[in-house]
């Protein structure tokens, strides 16, 4: 039986409240990035903000049908199904979910996870890599479901299983250390699955060199967006 935390116990990844922000910064200093690396993050702040803002731009978001889902027809391009959403909320194993509705240390990184099965996601939060209910549709306001465009549905499932095998590992506070497999931050986890299994860099155009930023992922040519949601705050 999969051990899934109740919704009431969820702590959304990368969401740091004002009361805990100081402690989180201190933890990152002692357990993660060097002073030089933290300065690099500050230098790229405007680029990060631009990526964050473009994530929510409806006019620049192209959404296609999940052509790897054999239940659906192979129609590529679709229109909105409501005023705020494009496409069907994904449940297929291996679909990557990304939101901009969270931040870490006051920076607009966002959050990413991967669907393991129809009702379960695998995500890395400050508490480590864990399984959660696939409730992003109600958990966040602005989200995108993306799929790597050069893989099959079977390969995506293997990537989700790879992430599931990392459950129990701690959070990686050094965002520059993307090659470690002893610990993970959220977007590093899904990136590492495709890197290790298939040799793919699904985030080739990084906003910050050597850092996998969640909101970077949907803008890459390596992926297609199969679901997009914008809800009023």
* Tens digit of each residue's pLDDT (9 = 90 or more) over 197-233: 999 999 999 999 999 999 999 999 999 999 999 875 4
Average pLDDT, the chain: 82
- Tell me which residue has tokens 């958990």: 139
Does the global pTM surpass 0.85? no
pLDDT in tens, 136-154: 999 999 999 999 999 999 9
Q: Is the pLDDT of residue 160 over 50?
A: yes
48 confidence band (pLDDT: 50, 70, 90)? confident
Average pLDDT for 109-114: 94
Which has more confidence, 43 or 100?
100
Instruction: Check: CB of residue 142 under 8 Å from CB of residue 100.
Output: yes
d(CA 177, CA 174): 6
pLDDT at 103: 65
Show the domains of the chain with their CATH numbers: 7-229 (3.90.1720.10)
At 149 the pLDDT is 95
- Evaluate whether 190 touches 59 at the Cβ level (below 8 Å): no
> What is the pLDDT at residue 163?
98
Question: How far is 23 from 25, CA to CA, in rounded Å?
Answer: 5
Query: Scanning the structure block, which residue is given the tokens 């966040």?
Result: 140
Secondary structure class of 21 (helix, strand, coil): helix
Label residue 131 left, alpha or beta by phi (over 0 means left) and psi (-120 to 50 means alpha). Answer: beta
Q: What is the pLDDT of residue 81?
A: 53
Confidence of residue 70 (pLDDT cuts 50, 70, 90): confident
CA separation for the pair 28, 99 (Å, rounded): 22
Beta strand extents in 55-150 (DSSP E only)? 85-86, 96-99, 111-117, 120-125, 128-133, 143-148
DSSP letter for 93, please. T
* 177, 188, 229 from 201: Cα distances, Å: 15, 11, 26
């Amino acid at each position: 039986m999969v051990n899934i935390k109740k919704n009431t116990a969820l702590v959304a990844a990368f969401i740091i409240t004002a009361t805990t922000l100081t402690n989180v910064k201190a933890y990152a200093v002692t357990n993660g990035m060097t002073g030089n690396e933290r300065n690099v993050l500050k230098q790229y702040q405007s680029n990060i903000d631009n990526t964050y803002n473009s994530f929510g731009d409806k006019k620049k978001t192209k959404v296609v049908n999940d052509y790897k889902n054999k239940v659906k027809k192979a129609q590529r391009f679709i229109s909105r199904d409501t005023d705020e959403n494009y496409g069907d909320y994904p449940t297929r194993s291996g679909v990557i979910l990304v939101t901009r509705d969270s931040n870490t240390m006051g920076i607009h990184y966002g959050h990413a996870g991967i669907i393991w099965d129809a009702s379960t996601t695998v995500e890395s939060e400050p508490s480590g890599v864990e399984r959660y209910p696939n409730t992003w549709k109600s958990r966040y306001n602005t989200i995108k479901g993306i799929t790597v465009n050069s893989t099959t549905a079977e390969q995506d499932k293997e990537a989700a299983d790879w992430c599931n095998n990392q459950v129990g590992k701690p959070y990686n506070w050094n965002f520059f250390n993307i090659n470690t497999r002893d610990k993970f931050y959220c977007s590093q986890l899904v990136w590492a699955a495709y890197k290790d299994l298939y040799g793919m860099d699904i985030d080739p155009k990084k906003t910050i060199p050597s850092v996998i930023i969640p909101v970077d992922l949907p803008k890459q040519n390596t992926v297609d967006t199969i679901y997009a949601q914008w809800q009023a705050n």
